[in-house]
Structure 1
Amino acid sequence: MPNRIAHRPDPSKHDVRRWRRYLANERAEEATYRELAKKRQGEEREILLELAESEKRHQQHWIDKLGPLAEKTVSPDFNTRVLGFFAKSFGSVFALALVQNFEARSPYAEDPDATDQMAADERVHEEVVRSLATRSRARMSGTFRAAVFGANDGLVSNLALVLGVGATGVSSGVVLATGIAGLLAGALSMAAGEYVSVSSQRELLNASTPRPDTRDQLPALDVNENELALVYRARGMQEAEAKDKAAATLRAVHRQTGAVHLGPHGRTATNHEELGTPLGAAASSFMFFAVGALIPVLPWIFGLQGLLAVAIAAVVVGIALLLTGGVVGVLSGAPPWKRALRQLLIGYGAAAVTYVLGLAFGGVVG
């Protein structure tokens, strides 16, 4: 692959500053990968250490270009420092999601002083980190989904509830009682709904999973009247392919060469880790809904009333919605600010509608 770099015997001050920043970023990224590796085991740890080693090659490129000028060090950019903080403090999917975004925004593809190999490395690093982050997302997705949805629903629904009731002109005590009732009712409803939802999904998946003891009956099948082919056909294979697969399976069974796979893609069991457990999802949903629903009620708990209480509730809930939206954005690999703004607009939209309806209803009653 041809090198994109043109020879520059006398780099400008701008070039030197940029190369030093690249070198600092590469060193910080190596440290980030090593921090993440400390918190993992087995294959994931080895992969992260390999990524750290590859960052050393990039460092050497900038050291060679800088020559003696490489002795002066600079700080990494802000995003890289934030990445290192998350890796040291959490070492979780949050850090991996941030690394994924960082690798995706690598400037090497457009920088004439970087090599094609370095640009390709960064693109591959993005895919490697995406795969690692996907594993972590799968391990936490069930409970995390319940937590995020619970917190967001608590924020939006209870803000809309207390604003709608407050707009009718009732006393602060009634608004507070309504908010607490909405908190308890909503948290219990969310918990029950999550428990039933996750339980039902797991039951459906279990019903679709091949029975493991079926393989014990395979040696007794008639080789010439191979009904095992019907299993593969029922699971989506064409007739000819199913017959070939069944014949190969029976030959393996009669030779006692190992495990038999009945699934269409060589799987005999369904992995349910992405769903989480029913109790875990229910508990997470209850707790986070309750916390989210408590926030809009805080002004009335502290004795505020009228428009002041409404304004403070809206501001505090807005901040919380921005945070929950940003977290979802980070974990999904999307720009956090877009998800944060979406959460804010949806929450404020729902609250505005109920507040206007409350004003209208209060005027009619009055």
Structure 2
Amino acid sequence: MPSTPHPVQLHHAATNPTSAQIRRWRRYLAEEISEAQVYTALAKLSTGHEAEILQSVADAEKRHQNHWRALLGEHAHPEPRPSASAKLLELLAKNFGTVFVLALAQRAEGRSPYREDPDATEAMAADEAIHEEIIRALSTSGREKLSGNFRAAVFGANDGLVSNVALIMGIGASGASNSMVLLSGIAGLLAGALSMAAGEFVSVRSQRELLDASRPTQVTLSVAKDLDIDQNELVLIYKARGMSEEAAQHRAMERFGHLDCDCDPSLSFKEVVEGEEHEEEHGALGSDIGASASSFAFFASGALVPILPYIFGASGTFAMVLSLALVGIALMITGGVVGLFSGASPMKRGLRQLAIGYGAALATYLLGLLFGATVG
């Protein structure tokens, strides 16, 4: 049902609005205009029912615009301009994929103030709550497709950042020379990146081999003609693969040629029913070589950050502080990106990553001081 303002509320607000109300309503109007444009842009990038859903959400935002225009009256002109962040979201919606933009849109819908604002109708507040769930649902498939590679990228880069800054802090605190700190950092980068690459290669290769071991063979085609139809052990194969007794019997009769086969006779049951699923699983896993190379690159890129000050000639306490600052920025970025894609607070996720990284660095720094004093 379209969202419409209550007549009494509309008359009262429109006849004597305060300056604070006018500013707030214009801000709401600007946000609704921007959100409608974002969803319209996303609808044009999408197809099928997803495009229809996004356009319907855009239409709902236009109804909300009409509510604020009615309240504002002459104060709705000139039309308010969207904020810089709203313009950026619009630009992303028009030029990039939907996963990232939907994640941002979901967070924006979740921050709607309409539930507490007396000038917004209950229907509008309900719309915004529903919109968040709609966007969450539309984001699901994209997040699932992204999750594997995204996890590897974030984990690899974050592991490189934390492990190498912790190593550098420990070595630096022990009183080692700058050249030794740099050498240790480079060794940590290479050792960690190679270890990550080898682990990812073994992991993906092993998982593919496990899936291959479960994939059906063509044995039903090669031996069906020699089986005893009265014993019909072929039925047991299909039952073992999850078919009911009736379906298994029917399938076996098709193999014996007593019933017409409603599928490609060159394929076994598992290949017909689940062949596409196996291909999707293999595709989702990706190439073991590709996964290995990606893990190497992501870890190395993260591990490079802490040693940049030493590479460019910085030394002593200044180099350590600069290294920590660079790592802190990188950790906030990786944490913020995780927050954005998960629909959570980027700041909270960034601070969480920062606390973990700095906690590890502090622990090794204290150990370095302890061992340095002991050796000294």
TM-score by length of structure 2 reads: 0.80
1:345 maps to what in 2? Answer: 355
Tell me, yes or no, if structure 1 residue 331 matches structure 2 residue 332: no
1:277 maps to what in 2? Answer: 287
Question: Does the Cα contact within 8 Å between 2:64 and 2:124 map onto a contact in 1?
Answer: yes
Question: Does the Cα contact within 8 Å between 1:4 and 1:112 map onto a contact in 2?
Answer: no
Report how far residue 139 of structure 1 moved: 2.4
Question: Does the Cα contact within 8 Å between 2:335 and 2:350 map onto a contact in 1?
Answer: yes
What is the letter of the counterpart of residue 204 of structure 2?
V
What is the letter of the counterpart of residue 311 of structure 1?
V
1:68-147 aligned at under 5 Å gives the runs: 68-77=74-83, 79-88=85-94, 90-147=96-153
1:309 maps to what in 2? Answer: 319
Tell me, yes or no, if structure 1 residue 28 matches structure 2 residue 34: yes
Report how far residue 135 of structure 1 moved: 1.9
Render the CA deviation track for 1:74-104: whole Å, top value 9, x for unaligned: 2335653443243245444221111111122
What is the letter of the counterpart of residue 286 of structure 1?
F
Report how far residue 186 of structure 1 moved: 1.1
What is the letter of the counterpart of residue 7 of structure 1?
V
1:26-65 aligned at under 5 Å gives the runs: 26-65=32-71
Equivalenced residue count is 359
Question: Does the Cα contact within 8 Å between 1:96 and 1:129 map onto a contact in 2?
Answer: yes
Tell me, yes or no, if structure 1 residue 155 matches structure 2 residue 155: no
Question: Does the Cα contact within 8 Å between 2:156 and 2:299 map onto a contact in 1?
Answer: yes
Tell me, yes or no, if structure 1 residue 357 matches structure 2 residue 367: yes
Report how far residue 173 of structure 1 moved: 0.9
Distance 2:247 2:289 in 1: 40
Distance 2:318 2:361 in 1: 16
What is the letter of the counterpart of residue 362 of structure 1?
G
Report how far residue 225 of structure 1 moved: 7.4
**Structure 1 residues 228 and 34: CA distance shift in structure 2, 3 A:** farther
Q: Secondary structure at the match of 1:10?
A: helix
TM-score by length of structure 1 reads: 0.82
Tell me, yes or no, if structure 1 residue 170 matches structure 2 residue 176: yes
Identity, % of aligned positions: 51
What is the letter of the counterpart of residue 374 of structure 2?
V
What is the letter of the counterpart of residue 8 of structure 2?
H
**Structure 1 residues 357 and 216: CA distance shift in structure 2, 3 A:** same
**Structure 1 residues 192 and 325: CA distance shift in structure 2, 3 A:** same
**Structure 1 residues 215 and 63: CA distance shift in structure 2, 3 A:** farther
Report how far residue 324 of structure 1 moved: 0.6
Distance 1:248 1:123 in 2: 49
Higher alpha-carbon Rg: 2
Distance 1:261 1:183 in 2: 49
